[in-house]
Amino acid sequence: MSNVQLMKQVGAVLSISLRGIPKRLGACLVIVIGIAGAVAVFISVFAMSSSFTETASKSGRADRVIVLAEGATTEGASSHQRADVNEILASQAIKRDSDGKAIATADYLAFARLTDERTGVDTFATLRGTGAKALLLRPEIEIVQGRMFEAGVRELIVGRALQRRLNGLGLNDRVPLPEGDWTVVGVFESGADARESELLTDAETLLSAYQRNEFNSVTVMLDDASAFDAFRSSLQINPALSVQAKRERDYLLDASAPTTRLLELIAVVIGGIMALGAIIAAVNAMYSAISTRSMEIAILRAVGYDGAPVAISVLIEALLFALAGAALGAAIAWLFFNGNTISTQTAMGPGPMSYMLSINATVVLLGIGCGCTAGFIGGILPAMRATTAPVTAALRGT
Amino acid sequence: MSQMLQMRGVVKHYTRGNHRVEVLHGVDLEARPGEFIALMGPSGSGKSTLLNLIAGLDKPDRGEVVVAGSHLNTLTQRELSRWRARHVGFVFQFYNLLPTLSAELNVEVPLFLTRLSRAQRRQSVAASLSLVGLTQWAKHKPQELSGGQQQRVAIARAIVSDPTILVCDEPTGDLDRATADEILQLLRTISTKHGKTIVMVTHDPLAAGYATRQLHVDKGLLIRSEERAIA
């Protein structure tokens, strides 16, 4: 049989089959709804993973470098003495401002205890003590309300994403921290990156309040991205230092990787369970469809239709239902979850990171692909049944 | 071709539960082109099994079945499908039309297996429906037609691809006498005027009276053959 003949037969069988859908609408809807549910869940959970990774790594710039203590994988696990900070800032590869001072900050991480606006439960927020050059180092930070904090005063500014999530972070609100309340004097945005989930304040004031004298990390801006190797070498050859330098983007990706992997695992496990359910539903529904169509299939086989076009048409039909279900699932996920802000605890700081769920084209295509695969797998056994069922028995059974 | 159908020493078993039951015990049968044969016999005598073997829907366990020059024993399932599409037209007791398709689309179903163009297919469908007197019912679905009309559509479907042989399984079993006579007259016309060989299973002696030869099957054997001239 030529391919043209085969496709002609498939088209004819499929056309006959699709005309019968109104008579077996219930079974068809089982497939569509089953796949829709699985795809909606898969897309939503997978969007968590991809949106988290995107947000976590968004603020990474090629010309910004973070310096951690040797062996530390996150800022929280890193510690620099003041002397180390001075040695790092002395590197000639660091960009200088008009006054000749290094565009860099030495940061200290603490946490503030606040109340989640939605759940009413106490939670933590990352409180970052940073330096005077913070806005030069991070031009993406924009004060959208109020003003920048002042050094030596118990003031802080709050990221927009954090402010949306937690109570008590409005302008002039007071945040209870060691040695009294600190005043919110400004609100900033930074392109919905990880920093927007933090409180920022003056590092020296924060160290004093917490009676500490060590920083967690040093972040510097290079003259340009190509200066990274020179900067790293300058630190490596300095016998007084035991530190590691990472491009900021690499650091953010590395630090967020465990959470990303966990979210991906959840997506695969939950999506897999839902997909398994959808496959079983598709198998049952397609078996039911084959059973309902047994006379029709027997007639077609009797008048000369080969098993292959019948099987292919069953598979295509299962795929069409799966496609419809997957599209419906994607639409549900997009309608209910796209743009929602959620927060996840990460290894990047003491407080959770807020991020916006983005149901983008990649996630949708992946979900639809998985849904169609489930439908296809669900159609295989019924397709085989359709070609092997005895024709004579079906014809006389009518 | 001197013989349209030759069966020699055909044996067929079925397995029912743990039992292997021999349904046909070495049947010999021949039919000439254009013959109209009625297969008669009590239920379970093996006549439907015989019909399925002639139609290429089943294969014998022993013996030889040659229809329209093809040795059906030697064909694979795929080859049998192609052979049926080319040589066999089916008429069933309960019409077995596809309920979601109009009469003309039901008739067109076998033509999708051919290389005919859409226009040629439409032409063949119109000719077949005209032959069975249902031109004006072409757009109607089976449930909108009477039993007799549905069987006419089934006959149109059976002849549309110009098959060599028509196999009819109780074609009038679900029809009243007058309608049955019309259908049988139509089958006889197809046999005499269009030269089609017809093999028809029936319990009805009046239906068998339209055939040119009556073969009586009992307990898996052909026990009697009666030939009669068409009036």
Q: Return the CATH number at B188.
A: 3.40.50.300
- From residue A244, give the alpha-carbon distance in Å to each of A84, A92, A235, A238: 12, 17, 8, 12
Bridge partner list, A302: none
The pair of three-digit structure tokens given for residue A177, joined into one six-digit string: 């921290």
Question: Given an 8 Å threshold on Cβ–Cβ distance, is B77 in contact with A307?
Answer: yes
Identify residues of B whose CB sits under 8 angstroms from chain A CBs: 48, 52, 55, 57-58, 77-78, 81-86, 88, 90, 92, 94, 96, 98-101, 109-110, 112-113, 115, 157, 169
Backbone phi, then psi, for B133, in 5-degree steps?
Answer: 75, 35
Query: Of B128, B145, B148, which is closest to residue B137 (Cα–Cα)?
Result: B145
Q: Which residues of B touch A20 (CB under 8 A)?
A: 99-100
Does residue B173 fall inside a structural domain?
A: yes
Q: How many Å apart are CA B9 and CA B27, to the nearest integer?
A: 5
Identify residues of A whose CB sits under 8 angstroms from chain B CBs: 1, 5, 8-9, 11-12, 16, 19-20, 23, 295-296, 298-307, 391-392, 395-396, 398
Of residues A9, A20, A395, nearest to B113 (C-beta): A9
Does residue B62 fall inside a structural domain?
A: no
- Looking at residue B230, its pLDDT comes to 57
- Looking at residue A398, its pLDDT comes to 44
Question: Given an 8 Å threshold on Cβ–Cβ distance, is B84 in contact with A392?
Answer: no
DSSP per-residue string spanning A212-255: ---BSEEEEEBSSGGGHHHHHHHHHT-TT--EEEEEHHHHHHHH
B92: closest chain A residue by CA: A395
Does residue B118 fall inside a structural domain?
A: yes
Does residue B146 fall inside a structural domain?
A: yes
Does residue B23 fall inside a structural domain?
A: no
- HEC profile of A27-84: HHHHHHHHHHHHHHHHHHHHHHHHHHHHHHHHCCCCCEEEEEECCCCCHHHCCECHHH
The model carries a pTM of 0.72
B98: closest chain A residue by CA: A296
A295: closest chain B residue by CA: B96
User: What is the helix (H) or strand (E) element at residue A209, kind and residue range?
Assistant: helix A203-209
Question: Given an 8 Å threshold on Cβ–Cβ distance, is A304 in contact with B100?
Answer: no
Q: How many Å apart are CA B211 and CA B229, to the nearest integer?
A: 9
pLDDT, tens digit, for every residue of B176-185? 898 899 999 9
pLDDT, tens digit, for every residue of B105-144? 999 999 988 888 999 999 999 999 999 999 999 999 999 9
Query: Is the pLDDT at B231 greater than 60, yes or no?
Result: no
A301: closest chain B residue by CA: B81
pLDDT, tens digit, for every residue of B55-108? 999 999 999 999 989 999 999 988 999 999 999 999 988 888 998 899 999 999
Mean predicted lDDT score pLDDT of chain A = 87
Spell out the per-residue pLDDT of chain A, length 398, in tens: 677 778 888 888 898 888 888 888 888 888 898 889 888 988 988 888 888 888 877 777 889 999 999 999 888 889 999 999 999 999 888 999 988 899 999 999 998 888 776 777 888 888 999 999 999 999 999 999 999 999 999 999 999 988 888 888 899 999 888 778 999 999 999 888 888 889 999 999 999 998 899 999 999 999 888 999 999 999 999 988 899 999 988 888 888 888 888 888 888 888 888 888 878 888 888 888 777 788 888 899 999 998 888 899 888 988 999 999 999 999 999 999 998 877 777 766 666 777 888 898 998 999 999 889 888 888 888 888 888 877 887 776 64
Does residue B223 fall inside a structural domain?
A: yes
For chains A and B, count residue pairs whose Cβ atoms are closer than 8 Å: 72
Name the residue range of residue B173's domain.
33-53+90-227
Q: Which residues of B touch A295 (CB under 8 A)?
A: 96
Count structural domains, chain B. 1
- Looking at residue A142, its pLDDT comes to 94
Q: How many Å apart are CA B150 and CA B92, to the nearest integer?
A: 11
Alpha carbon of A192: minimum distance to chain B alpha carbons (Å): 56
Q: Report the b/e string of A321-335 with b at 16+ CB within 10 A.
A: bbbbbbbbbbbbbbe
- From residue B72, give the alpha-carbon distance in Å to each of A373, A390, B58, B75, B225: 40, 18, 9, 5, 24
Query: Is the pLDDT at B1 greater than 60, yes or no?
Result: no
Query: Of B74, B73, B71, B62, which is closest to residue B27 (Cα–Cα)?
Result: B62
Question: Given an 8 Å threshold on Cβ–Cβ distance, is A12 in contact with B58?
Answer: no
Q: How many Å apart are CA A358 and CA A264, to the nearest integer?
A: 15
Beta-carbon-side half-sphere exposure of residue B81 (alpha carbons within 13 Å)? 21
Question: Given an 8 Å threshold on Cβ–Cβ distance, is B78 in contact with A303?
Answer: no
Mean predicted lDDT score pLDDT of chain B = 91
B90: closest chain A residue by CA: A303
Rg, chain A, Cα only: 30
